[in-house]
Structure 1
Amino acid sequence: MASEKKNKLAFLSMPAPASYVAGLGRGASGFTTRSDIGPAREGPSAEAIAEAQTRRGEEIEADPEQFQDPDNETGLFAGTTYEQDDEEADRIYDAVDDAMDSRRRARREEREKAEMEQLRSERPKIQQQFADLKRGLSAVTDSEWESIPEVGNLTRRKRRKEERSFAVPDSVLVGDRGRGEYENALDSRQQQDGGFETPAESGEMTNFVEIGQARDKILSLKLDQVSNTSAASSGTSTSVDPRGYLTSLNSVVIKSDAEIGDIKRARMLFDSLVKSNPKHSPGWIAAACLEEHAGRMVAARKIIKAGCEQCPKSEDVWLEAARLHTNEDAKVILANAVQHVGQSVKIWLGAADLEGDDSAKRRVLRKALEHIPNSVRLWKETVNLEPSRDDARILLARAVEVIPQSVELWLALARLEAPEQAQKVLNKAQAAVPTSHETWIAAGRLIEQEAVRDTKLTVDERNAKFNIVDGIIARAVRTLRSKGVLLTRDQWLKEAERCEKEGSPRTCEAIVKSTISMEIDEEDRLDTWVSDAKSAEVRGMVSTARAILAYALKTFPDRKSLWMRAADLEEAHGTRENYVAILERAVDHCPQAEDLWLRGAKEKWMSGDVPGARNVLEKAFKANPESEKIWLAAIKIEAENGEIAVARQLLSRARDVADTQRIWMKSAVFERQHGNIPRALETISTALQKFPKFDKLYMIQGQIHQSSKAYPAARASFAAGVKACPKRPTLWILASRLEEADGKSIKARALLEKARLVNPSTDVLWAESVGVEQRSGGEAQAKAMLARALQDCPSSGLLWSMAIWAEPRPTRKSRSTDALKKCQNSTESSAIIICTIARLFWAERKVEKARQWFGRAVDKDRKDDSDVSRDIGDSWGWWMKFERQHGTDVCSFSEHLRAFGRMLIRLFLQEHRQQVVDMCAAADPHHGPVWQSVAKDLKNAGKSTKEILELVADALV
């Protein structure tokens, strides 16, 4: 009970809640007295507020309750009760409003979105304008960020300089006051003759020399004031040499805060390293190099000195100490080093390098040999310093006694001895070092050099000497194999190439003969040897390649491919005599090889030996009586040398003996070239009965009729040709050009359309169609036709070249890039595109780039056997045209030079043109639209490749 009473009293003493109202549960209501809110007074009335607003000119706000219903002052619906039906009605109305709004919302949002996009496209934000650039910043590296320069004044406006005010002296003001005044009296300074004395005659002209001297004097005084400063307080003066001071500034290394911090951290690390492991010599060297880099040479020398004390057996520490000190101090340091590491070759060589003259160096090295007599390097350095050959030979004789296992010393001694004595030295070397192949190779080279130097030897005696070389190398291989020295085949080939480089081709050949068949399976010999010869030729080792092919031909004498490769090697790198000799040997072993016979005859003919060429072809006829190539070669030789009757007889015999379609075609061409048109047409008619599917016969027949303006006959010939040979695009093109020449462009288009149906995806037909449209004046139709052509033939270089030139100048580069990507898998198309790019560079006057790309177009540096691009004559013609005209800029500049300079420039250009002519003659191209039209023109029959090149360069537009 006592506890309950105590709790009740505690409750009553607690403060009441903030919202508590006494008697609220029994119906009482709360009230607020004035004492609860504090003292207050009543505010101004509504009338007083309205009167004040009227005086200030403010608009009086209307009372919102003045329009209230007088019967219901609180609202029209204030007395009603909001029931459940009302709530349901409100929900229905809200749903209806939402449904109506949803219908218009989609259109409204779409309209607002379109308006916003239009606004953004017309007035984009700065963030959108640089969005692509900001995405590209993700690839920027830290180093590139750091290398961005500081932004300077990019406004290109001159910044306003600070205006300075100076006190104007009185003399300026006085002089300025009388500037606008006029003199109204004559000058009193008159001469006796009545004239006036001018300033020029009285010596009062402005002397600019004196003004300049005065300016220099004032400047020197100012410099003296800066350079010579006196300290009055201490009574001493310091002189500053401006030149010396600027020179010393060049040697000052300015380091950034980051570098200084790195140096401090590295210094702490190296300090800890040398303290924890004082016998670790690289730590001392690194610490000294750090101080050297920091520019503290005294500290670096101190550290390296401590390193020498801690690591006296390390030669690197002593050498580093010598490097950090002056020459005299370094000698003392290395002298101390010899006391600790007397067997170090580097220490002795370093001490010798410190000496100034050769005698002192020899003295140091001889002292070194007393301590280290078995050092090959010391002996070699000592021998190299000997002034005379005899002293060097004596030293080497002593060296091989001390170090008999050194092959280098034996070989050096053999080179210094006479030939007879050198052979003895090499014999001793072979006995001392029986496992060395170098001594055997040196012996073979010695015999070869003797045979070459001795001019009194006959050919047989010289060959006998060479046979001795072969025997020495063969015995070397056997001896080394018996001693267990197994050099690989590749190692022997490298030794052969080394002998060739050093001028011993016969020893190289002997090595190849003795080792080329090692480690090869019998069935793989031919392919391996051909591959080895090709690799050696690519590296420039012609003698090695020749020796490999000679051995292969001795093993496989009936292989035509080997003889062709050997002939190619001799033609490219050998003499004419060797080339002819290899061809004569080739036809003896392979009499059925027509190409070898023809190459021999051509070489005779090109050298001017026409009877020799005829003799070769006579032998070829005996071995190959029905060879079409040999018959045609014989006919060409006779025709080119003016023997028309003999050539006609040979053609008649060839038609009887060989009777091939090409011989009949050449017979018709021969008669046409020599003006016998009826006989040419008769020959073609006979040939068409024998070979009705040979398209070139129809071409020649149609061209003969077209040249004589017999268009119906020519049309009939071409019609028969396209009917018999519908897959020959050239026939369709000639038929189209015939119609175009007859003024029937519509029929020409129809023929080409039909040709494209018969020969789909043929670029030459598409190109001809584009040309027809261009020649008829329809540029728009030509562009449309070209677009269709590229869709049908996307990798045609001919069409892409036309497309590039059809583009405006700014877009040609991008078009050429696309063309290169599309045509990269076709050698011919790629060559055409490369030539087009070269022409683009030419048009932009980029001469060197154009020349490089023309070289690429003709595969100037090609390493494989593909000659497709070299056979395109139009590329050679464009290059020749470029070399004719590219010197325009140089010549315009040469107008300001002397005659000698102009002569040199003309010689330079002539050299480039001659180089192109020679390369084209070597390539002997046969294809290209312009090249074929020029080469097959009757007026150009019998002309050489060089002459055709000049004509093609003139015809190209």
Structure 2
Amino acid sequence: MAAIGTVKHVPKEIRYNFLNQAAPASYVAGLGRGASGFTTRSDIGPAREGPSAEAVAEAQARRGEDVPDPDALQDPDDERNLFAGTVYEADDEEADKIWESVDERMDARRRARREAAEAAAAAEERAKNPKLQTQFADLKRSLSTLKDSDWENIPEAGNLTGKRRKQNMRLEENQNTRSYAVSDSVLADVAGRSALLGELDAQQQENGGLETPAGDGTMTDFISIGNARDKVLSLRLDQASKDAANGSSTSIDPRGYMTALNSQILQTDAQIGDIKQARQLLQNLIQSNPKHAPGWIAAASLEVHAKKMVAARKIIAEGCEKCPKSEDVWFHAAELNTPENAKVVLGKAVQNVPQSVKIWLKAASLESEPAAKKRVLRKALEFVPNSVRLWKETVNLEEDPEDARILLTRAVEVIPNSVELWLTLARLETPENAKKVLNSARKVIPTSHEIWIAAGRLAEQTPTAMSEVKVEYDLEQQRKLAAQVDKVMAMAVSSLQKNSVILGREQWLQEAEQCEQDGSPLTAQAIVKATIHLEVEEEDRKNVWLEDAERAEKGGFYEVARACFVKLLEAYPTSPSVWRRAAEFEKAHGTPDAVQEVLAKGVQHCPHAEVLWLMAAKEKWMGGDIPGAHAILADAFKQNEDSESIFLAAAKLASETNEMEAAQQILQKARAQADTERIWMKSAMLERQLGMLDAALDTLQQAISKYPGFDKLHMIRGQILESRGETSEARSAYAQGCKSCPKSIPLWILSARLEEKAGIVIKARSLLEKARLHNPKNDELWMESIKIEERSGSAQQAKSVLARAMQECPTSPLLWSLAIFMEAPQQRKGRSVDALKKAGEHPAVIIAVARLFWAERKIEKTRQWMQNAITADADWGDAWGWWLKFERQHGEPERQQLVIDKCVEAQPHHGPVWQAVAKNLANVGKSIPDILELVADKLE
């Protein structure tokens, strides 16, 4: 046995001969295993071509392998053999569609996965082989930070073309810069040509110096000649411009020439073609139908558009001949001619169409003298006597009222159905004759409401109570006059209904508003009283009439609104709300006497309406009639013995007039009769105001025992104890109040502020946290917590609390106004935009934005935003304080006084700083201007 690892040598005599022979031409190594010929890069020379399909099939057959049938995978759409002659029917098409739908369904199921794989592959490819533009993206972004100086310092780019291009350019440069030696004769010739001679040569002397040598012409100086020509031209142009400036006549007006050029309208070829086409169409129209007047007018207008006035006049003149009965053709002819020619044209026109009002008015307008116009119009009235317009134009030309009256008398005889002529005649007549004229007009035209309204206005302007001597009307005379006008309008509505004339209530209200605008308030009121009930159901009258009054008030028609309230009070005399609305209307737009009259009637009809008694007493008090106010309150006590409001009003009136003993007696009597929590509170406040602190505490103790749930009693008690320095007792009072009234926000805030004053900030925070548990989502508690942090010097903690507050109260205007100024100055403007989006309707936010403009010294914009804050809510006193503070710094004294006057008119009651100042005991009894000054001083 041979050893392991040894090789057995085969003798040469038994080696196989095919190893030394060349391979057959069709031989492919590994063909039996399915291999085929191929060529790689390492091969030298072209690879040998593989065997053909027939050779492969023959080899497989010799080895006994199965030869595949070439028709086994035949496309069914290219049928052969068995189905070669069949017809492609509908069921075949249906089957194909089914298979296609199946393929699409399967493809759709795999599409998402395939697209995700393709996207992942593409992302991986981009990560491995990034593009140049993505590689330098950061460098491109950094270019935005370059300054202009950096861009200027970038060196100019050189020639970046190929090496061959550079070599060619170098060769060209070398050729251009190559120098050649020039002979001395050439240089001398060039120098002689450009030289200027100061003397004549011999040839020139022989010719007298007047002829240029006819040699080579080298002695002529064309440069000097060109310079001289330019200089002469410049002098002429300068002289022309000076003449134009001095007003002297020149051959060319530069400005007028340019204006004329600008005024020219250049028509394009397309426009000229359109004009030619339209001209041809209109020519065919007037030739086929020469009696068609609009065709002649259109043809003439086209020529006018084409700037051919002569042709236009010729066409319209021919149109007048063809259509002599058309007033439009004659009118257009007059428009296209000069005034003198137009008169001739209109003279022919009135001969052909004498009934045309349009022609007669055009003829009158061409006359410059009033007498000539009158003559033309009177001639026109002979042909057209029933034209209202001609009569109106004729009357308007009359300067004497008597002549105009005579003309109108004839006009109403000729045209009895013209309401306008009757009304104009009535205005020109005396009051007695005007009444006769209107009566005649009413008989002739019984369906005209304008005549009835004119009659009412006439009755208002000429009252029967007025004698020959002019006197001032008193209230009784005004009432009689109003009753007379009301009677006229009532008759008007009745008469119109009999004649089947039904006008809507909206139209009647519009007529009333028009009468008020024309200066007839009694007629306007009479119209409302006579027609406001139309088209309104019985149960809807109150609401509808109130809406009518409000609409008229907003529109500035106060007499119409007053008439609506009169009808309301007549229809609903026992409604306190109607009396109150009427009194408020008179207070806003009437006189103090009218307000007192309305309230006096209101308390008679509604004796148990406390609000009317209080309004009447306040009006007397504000008018300075203190005894009258006392009398009204005394009458009110008779009708309302146990009224809390009347007791409090009487006590307030007494305290405001420094009758403190009377006020104490009233409140003591009120505690016995009415015995309400507000009366006990007012009693304690009065005693506190008088310095009777012990009595006030006793009163509060009794009140708290009766009404433990009234938070103001606990607050007043705690404040009194706090003012006396009894901190522990005040803490107990506030604690008792918070326990009895956990929903009272001011009570929790007072308790927290007491702890803060005592230096126990942790206790204050704890109280406010507890208060927020009882009152979630309350912005006042959150705001107090933020301010405590600010006062303690923890700005970062204050911002943290603010963030929590904004999450719980995202639309709180107080928090947003505070958040604006807690930001950095450069971020406040963006914060203000968010605030306006979330809570932009509250004056606190608007004032915050105004303060930003104030800081930027935008005076007018700040003033406008201050006004916007007042418009949003005039009852917000802090807004008035900020406005006055701003006007003190940037406004005139007149502006400051205007702010004070508006604040007095608005009478604000709310606002954190305003309430704190107004309710301070040191400010009791001060007026609104004084409180406003204090608020402006306190605001920071």
Shorter-chain TM-score bucket reads 0.7 to 0.9
Aligned match for 2:874, one of 870, 875, 881? 870
- Cα distance 1:778–1:414, how it changes in 2: closer, same or farther (>3 A)? same
Render the CA deviation track for 1:96-150: whole Å, top value 9, x for unaligned.
xxxxxx9x98996474389989746514599x99xxxxxxxxxxxxxxxxxxxxx
Name the amino acid aligned to 1:788: R
Aligned counterpart, 2:797 = 781
Aligned match for 2:914, one of 901, 909, 931? 931
1:587 corresponds to 2:603: yes
Name the amino acid aligned to 1:747: K
Aligned match for 2:344, one of 321, 326, 332? 332
Aligned counterpart, 1:434 = 446
Q: Which moved more, 1:276-285 or 1:442-451?
A: 276-285
- Cα distance 1:391–1:728, how it changes in 2: closer, same or farther (>3 A)? same
1:274, 1:280 within 8 Å by CA — same for their partners in 2? no
Aligned counterpart, 1:946 = 929
Name the amino acid aligned to 1:878: W
Name the amino acid aligned to 2:281: S
Equivalences for residues 445-456 of structure 1 within 5 A: 445-451=457-463, 455-456=470-471
Equivalences for residues 229-628 of structure 1 within 5 A: 240-243=250-253, 246-247=255-256, 249-250=258-259, 252-253=261-262, 261-262=270-271, 264-265=273-274, 268-269=277-278, 271-273=280-282, 275-276=284-285, 281=293, 285=297, 292=304, 297-298=309-310, 300-302=312-314, 304-305=316-317, 307-309=319-321, 311-451=323-463, 455-456=470-471, 463-628=479-644
- Cα distance 1:821–1:447, how it changes in 2: closer, same or farther (>3 A)? same
Aligned match for 1:849, one of 861, 870, 878? 861
Aligned counterpart, 1:956 = 939
Name the amino acid aligned to 2:425: L
2:285, 2:295 within 8 Å by CA — same for their partners in 1? no
Q: Which runs of no fewer than 5 residues in structure 2 stay unpaired?
A: 1-19, 39-117, 145-150, 153-193, 197-231
- Cα distance 1:240–1:289, how it changes in 2: closer, same or farther (>3 A)? farther
Aligned counterpart, 2:237 = 222
- Cα distance 1:806–1:125, how it changes in 2: closer, same or farther (>3 A)? closer
Give the Cα separation in 1 of the matches to 2:307 and 2:531.
Answer: 60
1:665, 1:697 within 8 Å by CA — same for their partners in 2? yes
Name the amino acid aligned to 1:651: L
Residue 839 of structure 1, CA deviation: 2.8
Render the CA deviation track for 1:676-718: whole Å, top value 9, x for unaligned.
2222222211111111111111112222222333322222222
Q: Which moved more, 1:375-384 or 1:877-886?
A: 877-886
The TM-score with structure 2 as length reference comes to 0.73
Name the amino acid aligned to 1:940: N
User: Secondary structure at the residue paired with 1:819?
Assistant: helix
Name the amino acid aligned to 2:920: D
Render the CA deviation track for 1:426-467: whole Å, top value 9, x for unaligned.
111111111112222212221211128653487556644443
1:270, 1:286 within 8 Å by CA — same for their partners in 2? no
Name the amino acid aligned to 2:363: A
Residue 666 of structure 1, CA deviation: 1.5
Give the Cα separation in 2 of the matches to 1:687 and 1:634.
Answer: 21
Aligned counterpart, 2:161 = none
User: Secondary structure at the residue paired with 1:435?
Assistant: coil
Residue 312 of structure 1, CA deviation: 4.2
1:691 corresponds to 2:699: no
Give the Cα separation in 2 of the matches to 1:290 and 1:773.
Answer: 85
- Cα distance 1:432–1:219, how it changes in 2: closer, same or farther (>3 A)? farther
Aligned counterpart, 1:709 = 725
Render the CA deviation track for 1:555-574: whole Å, top value 9, x for unaligned.
11001111111111111111
1:880 corresponds to 2:884: yes
Residue 353 of structure 1, CA deviation: 1.9
Give the Cα separation in 1 of the matches to 2:763 and 2:313.
Answer: 97
1:227, 1:240 within 8 Å by CA — same for their partners in 2? no
Equivalences for residues 635-650 of structure 1 within 5 A: 635-650=651-666
Percent identity reads: 51
Aligned counterpart, 2:820 = 804
Residue 345 of structure 1, CA deviation: 1.9
Q: Which moved more, 1:300-309 or 1:751-760?
A: 300-309
Give the Cα separation in 1 of the matches to 2:846 and 2:576.
Answer: 36
2:755, 2:761 within 8 Å by CA — same for their partners in 1? yes
User: Secondary structure at the residue paired with 2:462?
Assistant: helix
Aligned length: 746
2:282, 2:299 within 8 Å by CA — same for their partners in 1? no
User: Secondary structure at the residue paired with 2:874?
Assistant: helix
Aligned match for 2:894, one of 893, 903, 911? 911
Give the Cα separation in 2 of the matches to 1:256 and 1:756.
Answer: 80
2:240, 2:250 within 8 Å by CA — same for their partners in 1? no
Name the amino acid aligned to 2:908: P
Name the amino acid aligned to 1:942: G
Give the Cα separation in 2 of the matches to 1:292 and 1:949.
Answer: 73
- Cα distance 1:290–1:276, how it changes in 2: closer, same or farther (>3 A)? closer
1:587, 1:596 within 8 Å by CA — same for their partners in 2? yes
Give the Cα separation in 2 of the matches to 1:528 and 1:118.
Answer: 73
Q: Which moved more, 1:659-668 or 1:835-844?
A: 835-844
Render the CA deviation track for 1:194-253: whole Å, top value 9, x for unaligned.
xxxxxxxxxxxxxxxxxxxxxxx9988534468999xxxxxxxx974555x523643554
- Cα distance 1:429–1:115, how it changes in 2: closer, same or farther (>3 A)? same
RMSD of the alignment, in Å? 3.7
Residue 413 of structure 1, CA deviation: 0.7
1:745 corresponds to 2:761: yes
User: Secondary structure at the residue paired with 2:447?
Assistant: coil
Give the Cα separation in 2 of the matches to 1:456 and 1:602.
Answer: 35
Give the Cα separation in 2 of the matches to 1:786 and 1:941.
Answer: 35
2:316, 2:329 within 8 Å by CA — same for their partners in 1? yes
Residue 381 of structure 1, CA deviation: 1.2
Residue 911 of structure 1, CA deviation: 3.5
- Cα distance 1:407–1:228, how it changes in 2: closer, same or farther (>3 A)? closer
Aligned match for 1:678, one of 683, 690, 694? 694
- Cα distance 1:419–1:694, how it changes in 2: closer, same or farther (>3 A)? same
Give the Cα separation in 2 of the matches to 1:943 and 1:228.
Answer: 79
Give the Cα separation in 2 of the matches to 1:107 and 1:264.
Answer: 63
Q: Which runs of no fewer than 5 residues in structure 1 stay unpaired?
A: 1-71, 91-101, 130-153, 156-168, 172-216, 230-237, 861-868, 888-908
Residue 614 of structure 1, CA deviation: 1.0
Give the Cα separation in 2 of the matches to 1:331 and 1:631.
Answer: 89
The TM-score with structure 1 as length reference comes to 0.72
